Amino acid sequence: MISRVKYMAKKKEIQAEEKATAVEESKEPIHEEEVQLETPKEGLATELGEVKELEEVIVEEVKKKGAFEKEAWNPKTSLGIKVKNGEITSVDYALDRRIRILEPEIVDALLPNLTTDLLMVGQAKGKFGGGQKRIFKQTQKKTQEGNKPKFATFAVVGNENGYIGVGYGKSKETVPAREKAIRQAKLNIIKIRRGCGDWGCGCGDTHTVPFKVMGKVGSVELTLMPAPKGTGLKIEKECQKILKLAGIKDVWSRTEGQTRSKLNVLLACFNALQNLIQVKVQQKTINRLNIIEGNSKPAV
Ligand SMILES: [Zn+2]
């Protein structure tokens, strides 16, 4: 066994050595390549402040969005050609026959009053209260050349009258990520059922969900329940935006599972809305709850 005095002496020696090497390392000059990489590329925000400014611009752009020009559109699919010729005037044609929409312009042409919104799925980084919500989820890959950032965002489109779609887009820069998400959201468009399913309301308006419905993605289970008129959307904040664009005004909800991972909560909410249309309902139920599909009475 080594005596305590010897041990302390040895420890001091090691500490001194470590200090000497640390000083040497700090004196080493930084390589030129690394310095060059630190200058930001065009359109690629690296600083926290820049990203915030960029986000504001992007949100504004989404709200402005120019009118869709049907004449300039050159359809590539048979469904698109029919839409442009005016043979198909309702998006229900594709949704009822389960024809896959492969061009976002089809949705633009058939549902002219679409509203687009980007949801907060990301987190701001840094000190001083970092972790605030952002529309871009930033991730980085460590490589030999340095950190390679990637941006992802979650878009939702809807006409506030029975039609809704969500999409997730990921890219090396912010603007293409947004475009991908919006495109995907338009291709994922669905129609939902609405009615007055609350037992005490009975107003016959189409302000809530017609029956209790559940959606599940990952560990998250989200249940939507009919509520009487005037209740509002009693649900997580980002899900409110989805339901508002879908045209639902009152709802009660319940979630289970890892609801801190925002993405799965939002997808579970969309899944619940998808399940609304998959339940079989009888004609007498349709009459009693005043169920409508999309923005019109379902054909029997
Ligand atoms: Zn009601």
Per-residue pLDDT of 64-79, as tens digits, reads 666 677 788 899 999 9
- Vertex 147 angle, CA 143 and 148, to 5°: 90
% of the chain beyond a pLDDT of 70: 82
| For residue 173, pLDDT beyond 50 | yes
Question: Is the predicted pLDDT of residue 176 greater than 70, yes or no?
Answer: yes
For the segment 233-266, what is each residue's pLDDT rounded down to a tens digit? 999 999 999 999 999 999 999 999 998 888 999 9
Ligand 1 centroid distance, CA of 209 (Å): 10
Q: Which residues lie near ion ligand 1 (Cβ < 5 Å)?
A: 196, 201, 203, 229
CA of 36 to the centre of ligand 1 (A): 63
pTM of the model: 0.78
pLDDT classification of 298: cutoffs 50, 70, 90:
confident
pLDDT digits (tens, 9 = 90+) for 189-216: 999 999 998 888 878 889 999 999 999 9
Q: Compute, in angstroms, the gap from residue 210 CA to the centroid of ligand 1.
A: 10
Which position has the higher pLDDT, 48 or 228? 228
238 C-alpha vs ligand 1 centroid, how far in Å? 24
pLDDT of 14: 73
Which pLDDT does position 2 carry in this prediction? 58
pLDDT tens-place string over residues 3-55:
677 777 777 777 777 766 555 555 544 444 444 444 444 444 555 556 666 67
The pLDDT value recorded for residue 65 is 63
- From ligand 1's centre to the CA of 230, what distance in Å? 9
Sketch out the chain's domains with CATH numbers: 48-68+112-191 (3.30.160.20), 193-293 (3.30.230.10)
Lowest mean pLDDT among 36-50, 75-89, 127-141: 36-50
What separation in Å is there between the alpha carbon of 256 and the centre of ligand 1?
27
Query: Looking at residue 152, what is its pLDDT?
Result: 94
Asked whether the predicted pLDDT for residue 123 surpasses 70, the reply is yes
Between the CA of 95 and the centroid of ligand 1 the distance, in Å, is: 27
